[in-house]
Amino acid sequence: MSMCEQDPATWSCDRCAVALVPGKVEFSYMGGSFKVDLPVCPDCGLVLVPEELAVGRMADAEKILEDK
Amino acid sequence: MEPNELREWEQKCIQEEPPQCTAACPIHLDARLFVRQVGEGDWGGALKTLAKTMPFPRILGRICDHPCEHACLRGEAGEPIAIGALERLCVETVQQRVVPSMLPRKRLAIAVVGSGLGSLTVAWDLLRKGYDLTLFEPGSRLGGSLWSLPENILPPEVLSAELELLTELGATVELFAKVGRPNTVVTLSESFAAVYIGLDTQGVNLNLLDLDDQGAVQVDPLTMATSRTGVFAGGRADDTKSPIAAVLAGRRAATSIDRFVTNVSMESGREKEGPYATLLYTSLAGVAPLPRIAAANPASGYNAEEALKEAGRCIQCECLECVKVCSYLEKFKGYPRKYAREIYNNERMVPGGVHRANLLVNSCSNCGLCATVCPNDFHMGELCHDARLSMVARAKMPPAAHEFALLDLEFSSSDKFALARHEPGLTASRYLFFPSCQLAGSAPGQVSEAYGFLRQQLSGGVGLMLNCCGAPGFWAGRDDLFYAAIRTLRTEWHALGEPVMIVACSSCLAIFREQLPEIPLVSLWEVLEQTGLPNTAAEAGRLAVVDPCSSRLDPAVQKSVRRLLERLGAAIEELPLHGDKPECCGFGGLMANANPALAREVVARRLAASDSDYLAYCAMCRDHFTAAGKRTTHLIDLIFPVETREDPAGRPATGWSLRHENRARLKEALLKELWGEATVTVAEYERRRVEIPPDVLALMEARRILVADVQRVIEYGERTGNRLRSEENGLCRAYFRPHRVTFWVDYRQQGEGFIVANAYCHRMEIVRSSHEHV
Ligand code: SF4
Ligand code: SF4
Ligand code: SF4
Ligand SMILES: [Zn+2]
């Protein structure tokens, strides 16, 4: 899955005071795991899951896994 | 589910039983389908339907004596469908050839003697089954007594054309066959695997076969076997009186011959051959009686237009009583028998199983309406509940289905709300008021007033128990949580001296009655009938009463509610589905959790039943209806009006966060005012003062995000500094996963508190992250 839809530059990590950079985030749900391209903090690893992704394709994928 | 359990469920649902016409037809023609096709003008399809069951459809379609019509259910609402006349028009008008489907050749030779309707049927059936068939006809042409029928009924050219089909299907036909020799039967049975003798054939020598008392060849009525092994017989000279009876005899013989030569039991499993009583139930409610369409020209029968009209009278018999009243059953486009099979296949992981089965299982509201209307009491809710228990046991239950409601249960049974006490100042309780978590969450002020009134009116002490009855645990298939809740209630009831419980919610009542039979129960409404109403009670106008589904088996409570309403001056309107037939509001069975879209449809359907204001006596019904825009009053709003006296229906719906808050506040207030105790420890996150604009709150409600969840995220972000910041507008964004959901909140600090700009969530868990940049 590639879901890098939001420009990481508009969000920065507040604690590390650095801009987010493209990274890979691993998710798991109902026994499956997935890697998604998302903005992450290069220093502490804080991630950004955009709203469109969470309520859109991620929610759809959750539903499919739940009815497996 | 065990295979035998599946069978029991399947047997309960009779939707797949044949309609009356088909069951009464000796060869079980699918008359319902045939008539439907005629009604749709699909004459080709109709002919195919005939040919699927009938031998020589162009003959039988003209001459069948249609016993199906005596059974046709339309006869109970007008006159039976003229199935025979429709068949006739069909075979008269459709010219396209019908080629019956054939099984592969078997290389087993069968002899048929004679060519009356019975013999022809044996030949037809066995040819289609792939046998080598030789037909011995002593006369000069095939067809026997069929030639004696009037020409306008069976035109000779039709008969001869149809008889030619035999050779097309591969039969060997011997005319002028010598079947009168003393050893005819022996010779035939030695050279063929089996023999059928049409007893309507002239000049057959039958001397080797035993006779019955009347001097006719002795034939077993079930198998058509004679006294000689491998020799079968049937047919009488007067076969044309009931052509379809002759066909049935031939069909029975063909079945026996097929079984005989392949060494299968000839007797077993033949109960449903010939006419039988179907178990199908079809309601005639709302079916206006209609007389049969008369043909303008009776001699030539129906024309196409008349046939269409006649077919249009067919009820298309089926049951579906439950599907008619339940949006859920309708939504999944099947009926309980099918659903039972789907659930079974899913559980057993039968390949090709349907992936919607989890949603199917979790969408039922367990309201029991299906069982009430089903002729066999099929309770889909019980089927689904068993399946949920099994899913939980096999760790196959998707957490999203019920978690939110289970957290609500956890909240209500926690210190935040739960309470069990004697009346302030007393050490014993004759009564114990149990307002229910949902009513307390929706109408805390009214609950508090009601408790005050009960204390004032009843002597001997009225204790108070705030808790949840455990219903969400039951619905979610979480027996562990459910029985834990029940155990707590039982223990506390004992500790309070086993008082009579006064229960406001019908769901709680139903659960207690089943799980806690030792507790004497009475509904709040029945008590108020006894005590009389407070003089502050509001006046009621015209109201349509929506019984909660959980009151289905509780006519006493339903009546009590109506009597109270009368005292309040209400003009009561009864909805079509009330009494033992109320629908659910979508909360039951946690439908609204697992399938919110369906729950909205269910509510819409209930709201469509009347334009009047509704009167509910279940907090969830009231809140669901109110949220959907229907003016709905809860009975407690009339009896104990709190700031709603002017317009009891005007109270807004209570969202999930407000419910929690209301419960917690109710407990706090009561502790303080009645028992003089200050409260309850407040968690750090609860001290975060947040301001949430209404549109964000509505979004949170739809996304099932509680204010407490938002407070947790902000508390976490602020405490740890783990938060993102927008470079454009300085907004903070933090995320936190308190349970099994990750919540995201956009917020900004304002003075001591925070303003929430957005909130969303997901269930997928962030396991780790890495960045590509070095
Ligand atoms: S009411 Fe429903 S469950 Fe009962 S027999 Fe009819 S279709 Fe089947
Ligand atoms: S009404 Fe139609 S389906 Fe029902 S028994 Fe008559 S022909 Fe058959
Ligand atoms: S929602 Fe009610 S009527 Fe519908 S299937 Fe479930 S228990 Fe039966
Ligand atoms: Zn960082």
Q: Which of B153, B9, B171, B18 is nearest to B88 (CA)?
A: B153
- Predicted confidence (pLDDT) per residue in B75-117, tens digit: 999 999 999 999 999 999 998 877 788 899 988 999 999 999 9
Ligand 1, pocket residues at CB < 6 Å: B 13-15, 319-322, 335-337, 374-376, 378
Is the C-beta atom of B74 inside 6 A of ligand 2? yes
Q: Closest ligand 2 atom, CA of B83? A: 7
Count of H helices and E strands in chain A?
2, 4
The predicted model gives B375-387 an average pLDDT of 96
The CB-side HSE value for A21 (13 A sphere, CA atoms) comes to: 13
A47 Cβ under 8 Å from any chain B Cβ: yes
B583 and B352 in contact (C-beta within 8 Å)? no
Instruction: Note the residue count of chain B.
Output: 774
The whole-number pLDDT of residue B291 equals: 96
Tell me how far the alpha carbon of residue B375 lies from the centroid of ligand 1, in angstroms.
7
The whole-number pLDDT of residue B352 equals: 62
Which tokens belong to B112? 């048929």
B246 and B144 in contact (C-beta within 8 Å)? no
- From the CA of B383, which ligand is nearest? 3
pLDDT level of residue B772 (50, 70, 90 thresholds): low
Ligand 2 pocket check: which of B17, B20, B279, B318 to mutate, most ligand atoms within 8 Å of Cβ? B20
B154 and B110 in contact (C-beta within 8 Å)? no
Q: Provide, rounded to the nearest whole percent, the portion of chain A with pLDDT above 90.
A: 51
Higher pLDDT, B554 or B689: B554
The whole-number pLDDT of residue B224 equals: 96
Going B53 to B56 to B57 to B59, the CA torsion angle's sign is negative
Higher pLDDT, B538 or B196: B196
B118 and B250 in contact (C-beta within 8 Å)? yes
Residues on chain B touching A14 (C-beta within 8 angstroms): 721, 723-725, 732
Cα separation, B636 vs B651, in Å, equals 12
Checking if the pLDDT of B138 tops 60, the result is yes
Between strands B132-136 and B109-113, the pairing is parallel
Cα separation, B46 vs B86, in Å, equals 10
The predicted model gives B512-530 an average pLDDT of 97
Checking if the pLDDT of B490 tops 60, the result is yes
Is the C-beta atom of B316 inside 6 A of ligand 2? yes
Please, what is the average pLDDT of chain A? 83
Checking if the pLDDT of B501 tops 70, the result is yes
Cα separation, B53 vs B255, in Å, equals 14
- What distance in Å separates residue B52's CA from the closest CA in chain A? 39
Q: Do A34 and B401 touch (CB under 8 A)?
A: no
The predicted model gives B475-499 an average pLDDT of 97
pTM here is: 0.82
Tell me how far the alpha carbon of residue B765 lies from the centroid of ligand 4, in angstroms.
19
Please, what is the average pLDDT of chain B? 92
The predicted model gives B755-774 an average pLDDT of 85
- Predicted confidence (pLDDT) per residue in B588-632, tens digit: 999 999 999 999 999 999 999 999 999 999 999 999 999 999 999
The predicted model gives B693-713 an average pLDDT of 91
Tell me how far the alpha carbon of residue B613 lies from the centroid of ligand 3, in angstroms.
25
Checking if the pLDDT of B385 tops 70, the result is yes
- Predicted confidence (pLDDT) per residue in B33-49, tens digit: 999 999 999 999 999 99
Given the cut 0.90, state whether the ipTM is greater than it: yes
**Integer CA distances (angstroms), B94 to B98, B118, B180, B535, in order:** 10, 25, 41, 79
- Predicted confidence (pLDDT) per residue in B298-336, tens digit: 888 999 999 999 999 999 999 999 999 999 999 999 999
What value does the CA radius of gyration of chain A take, rounded to a whole number of Å? 13
- From the CA of B87, which ligand is nearest? 2
User: First CA to last CA across chain A, in angstroms?
Assistant: 19
Checking if the pLDDT of A5 tops 80, the result is no
A6 Cβ under 8 Å from any chain B Cβ: no
The predicted model gives B43-71 an average pLDDT of 95
- What distance in Å separates residue A27's CA from the closest CA in chain B? 5
Tell me how far the alpha carbon of residue B31 lies from the centroid of ligand 2, in angstroms.
7
SS3 B233: strand
The whole-number pLDDT of residue B647 equals: 82
Checking if the pLDDT of B350 tops 80, the result is no
- Predicted confidence (pLDDT) per residue in B229-253, tens digit: 999 999 875 555 789 999 999 999 9
Cα separation, B342 vs B359, in Å, equals 11
Which tokens belong to B594? 């697992």
Is the C-beta atom of B343 inside 6 A of ligand 2? no
**Integer CA distances (angstroms), B453 to B216, B434, B456, B661, in order:** 90, 14, 5, 24
Q: Do B762 and A59 touch (CB under 8 A)?
A: yes
Q: Which of B90, B70, B28 is nearest to B53 (CA)?
A: B28
Q: Provide, rounded to the nearest whole percent, the portion of chain B with pLDDT above 70.
A: 98
